[in-house]
Amino acid sequence: MTERFAILCPGQGGQHAAMFDLLRNDVRGAEILQGYALEQRLGQPLDVLLQDDRLLFANRHAQPLVAAAGLAAWQALTLNSELPVPYLVAGYSIGELTAYGVAGSMPAITVIDLAIARAGYMDACLREEPQQGLMSVGGLPVEEVAAVLRQHNAHVAIQTGFDTLIAGGRNADLLAAGRQCETRGARTGMLPVGIASHTPLMASASAPFSTALNAIVFDPPVVSVLAGISAQEVHDTDSARRSLVEQLTTTIQWSACMDACAERGITVALELGPGSALSRMLRESHPGIECRSLSDFRSLAGASKWLQSRLG
């Protein structure tokens, strides 16, 4: 049987000081990373950003850095070895933009520049609604948590399982909803993300981001990309643009995306990193899919050998 494999592109939250080490320790990876000119694009030396969590987790830096890490890793892997084309690509939050770079819709530098613009438009929403963010909730059915969130004018930002989700809203509303959920036995925790992604609080970011997407050359993806808001395959440019804009204000159905991987016969998956949250969630929800993250390996060569061994 021919193995079908998927590429997973993470969102922000898994950044760390060593997130570019695999690339820097690989000749081609280092060249690719240098070609992105991140210091010029972000206005600060890369090591300064990596060594200061306040800068590393600031939305304006986090989104382009996460996109750059995933795209550079994929480029390096495909240059260093003859990997088959993935059957599909799925991206979580900003990772959905990364996914279109992996799928050949636009050059990596264009993706990074769009990530910078996207972060800026989202940060501008803070002028209207300051003190907002994201909170994890686990241990209660999603429907029950969603009802509590509505009582406090908060929202389901990302559904990750039948009893796990990420909530978004104003911090005071999230904390109030979290306390109520905890009285029912839930686990909650505020995330190091200072914006309420994938909720109506991002509404004013939609129009400028749509304009930015329409201003670039956006080719149809050469492989299927899963739309985060629906878990449906995207094959055309108009649907891709629409999904990327709508996901700013609409719940990400990541649990359904993981189900879609299983339904389409995916047997092997690689998460590009940074972090390993997506590979962990996929293993837990679908143990039949063999899934690893780049962070599991000591080198890009090791990740490539593992993937080639699994794909025959």
What is the pLDDT confidence band of residue 224, given thresholds at 50, 70 and 90? very high
CA–CA distance, 67 with 118 (Å, rounded to integer): 12
- Mean pLDDT, to the nearest integer, of 71-85? 90
Sign for the CA dihedral angle at 231, 292, 103, 251 comes to positive
CA–CA distance, 147 with 153 (Å, rounded to integer): 10
Name the strand (E) or helix (H) holding 106: none
Domain boundary residue, one of 172, 190, 208: 190
Are both 167 and 227 inside the same structural domain?
Answer: no
- Computed over every residue of the chain, the mean pLDDT equals 96
The answer to whether the CB of 22 falls within 8 A of the CB of 73 is yes
Are both 118 and 90 inside the same structural domain?
Answer: yes
- Is 115 a residue whose pLDDT tops 80? yes
Are both 276 and 134 inside the same structural domain?
Answer: no
Domain assignment of residue 195, yes or no: no
Are both 14 and 163 inside the same structural domain?
Answer: no
Domain assignment of residue 58, yes or no: yes
Are both 139 and 244 inside the same structural domain?
Answer: no
Q: What percentage of the chain exceeds 70 in pLDDT?
A: 99
Are both 229 and 113 inside the same structural domain?
Answer: yes
Q: Show contacts of 276-279: CB within 8 Å, 24+ apart.
A: 276/14, 277/10, 277/13, 277/14, 278/8, 278/10, 278/92, 278/95, 279/8
Are both 80 and 146 inside the same structural domain?
Answer: no
Task: Provide the pLDDT for residue 1.
Answer: 44
Domain range holding 249?
A: 4-125+200-311
Are both 88 and 217 inside the same structural domain?
Answer: yes
Domain assignment of residue 106, yes or no: yes
307-to-3, 7, 86, 92, 269 alpha-carbon distances in Å:
11, 11, 11, 21, 9
Task: Provide the pLDDT for residue 83.
Answer: 85
Task: Provide the pLDDT for residue 69.
Answer: 98
Q: Report the CATH number at residue 261.
A: 3.40.366.10
Domain assignment of residue 239, yes or no: yes
Domain assignment of residue 291, yes or no: yes
Q: What is the pLDDT of residues 171-214, one digit of tens each?
A: 999 999 999 999 999 999 999 999 999 999 999 999 999 999 99
Q: How far apart are the first and last CA of the chain?
A: 10
Are both 40 and 178 inside the same structural domain?
Answer: no
Domain assignment of residue 19, yes or no: yes
Domain total in the chain? 2
Are both 121 and 142 inside the same structural domain?
Answer: no
CA–CA distance, 128 with 254 (Å, rounded to integer): 28
Domain boundary residue, one of 190, 214, 231: 190
CA–CA distance, 90 with 100 (Å, rounded to integer): 9
- Is 79 a residue whose pLDDT tops 70? yes
* Residue 203, CB-side half-sphere exposure with 13 Å CA sphere: 5
Q: Report the CATH number at residue 135.
A: 3.30.70.250
Are both 134 and 111 inside the same structural domain?
Answer: no
Q: What is the pLDDT of residues 143-163, one digit of tens each?
A: 999 999 999 999 999 999 999
**What global pTM score does this model have?**
0.96
Domain assignment of residue 72, yes or no: yes
Are both 12 and 109 inside the same structural domain?
Answer: yes
- Is 106 a residue whose pLDDT tops 80? yes
